[in-house]
Amino acid sequence: MKVSVIGATGYAGAELLRILYQHPQAEVVHVTSESHTGERISALYPHLRGLYDLELESMKDISRIGEDSDFVFIGLPHGHAMEVGKALEKFPVRIIDLGADYRFSNTAVYEEWYHVPHTHPEAERVYGLAELYREEIRRAKIIGNAGCFTTASILALAPLAKHRLIDMNTIIVDAKSGVSGAGRSPKQGNHFPELYDSFKAYNVAHHRHTPEIEQALEELSGETVVLNFTPHLVPMSRGILATCYGTLKQEITAEMVDAAFQKMYGNEYFIRLLGRNGYPATKDVRGSNFCDIAWHIDERTRRVIVLSAIDNLVKGAAGQAVQNFNIACGFEEKMGLDVVPMYP
């Protein structure tokens, strides 16, 4: 399959190129960047030297990219993928957007949280969280790749929601991310002296991944979901650990919780269940497309606490995009992704 990467110079774009290089059924034909047009991708990311020496193009000639490509991956900030999606409507090319523009079934929710108008509301799209929407992804023209915090959180809570084991109005998600999740552009808060040896929360009560988590859990449970999501920034380059809380319904036992996770994920290659009382760690999934999940039950408070760990740039971005690509193309789902996590 001939693939192109629009916005290849962000961390997710570079990670996507790293994964696609080892994919036996993908050939990268175009890479774009509006701020580095004419430069070689390997000059910006020396780890790609000798592997990718493609020249970065402008996406102004999007028709040529559409004609040359079977799939287009979009790694642009929110608000920009819709322009690409509309420009490629007349081409048979399929799209995976790593941003937020095509994640929401209700574009009014997108506009409320992202504060930009949705200019492509009629687009036929599906939510790109592979383990939950596999059948829809197979046929999709546009796939809205799930976000990083949302992937860790939704996968942690999905068995509880689907089997209606918890009161859906009691959910709290407390998640921590490495700084690569903030992107490559320098900011004061990501400056080494500001970040190192520190730990802080941000965007409390209004992080944009909140409605994305709620949307998926509502579809699974059939109930309205309003939850609290608090993200934190950790002084490490990559990784997410999500700690998710919910109050068990009165008749639910620990064994029923165990069975729900086994039933939903027992045959999922990329989800590794550590079982009840396990402790996932970001280091154990680094550089991989795995999501490690464990759960604890506090009988005193009747709460279940689910822990999940992912690499935010892989399962939370580029790896998930390739997993969706594999599903959509009919390839083996782990093609190009079957790698051992890096350790230490």
Hey, which residues are catalytic here?
Answer: 148
Q: Which residue has the tokens 């409605």?
A: 211
Question: How far is 296 from 309, CA to CA, in rounded Å?
Answer: 15
Q: Which two tokens stand for residue 59?
A: 């996406």
Q: Which two tokens stand for residue 173?
A: 């998600």
> 172-178 and 240-247: which strand pairing?
antiparallel
Burial state string for 172-199 with b = 16 or more CB within 10 A and e = fewer than 16: ebbbbbbbbbbeeeeeeebeeeebeeee
Question: How far is 249 from 160, CA to CA, in rounded Å?
Answer: 10
Q: What is the DSSP string of 39-66?
A: SBHHHH-GGGTTT--PBPB-GGGHHHHH
Determine how many CB atoms are found less than 10 A away from the CB of residue 278.
14
In this structure, what is the dihedral angle of CA atoms 126, 232, 282, 153, given to the nearest 10 degrees? -30
Across-strand partners of 304? 246, 297
Which helix H or strand E contains 284, and what residues bound it?
A: none
Across-strand partners of 286? none
Angle at 81 between CA 24 and CA 100, to 5 degrees: 90
Q: Which two tokens stand for residue 293?
A: 């999940």
Q: Which two tokens stand for residue 247?
A: 């109050």
Q: What is the phi/psi pair of residue 148, to 5°?
A: -75, -55
Question: How far is 147 from 321, CA to CA, in rounded Å?
Answer: 10
Amino acid at 42: S
Question: How far is 224 from 215, CA to CA, in rounded Å?
Answer: 9
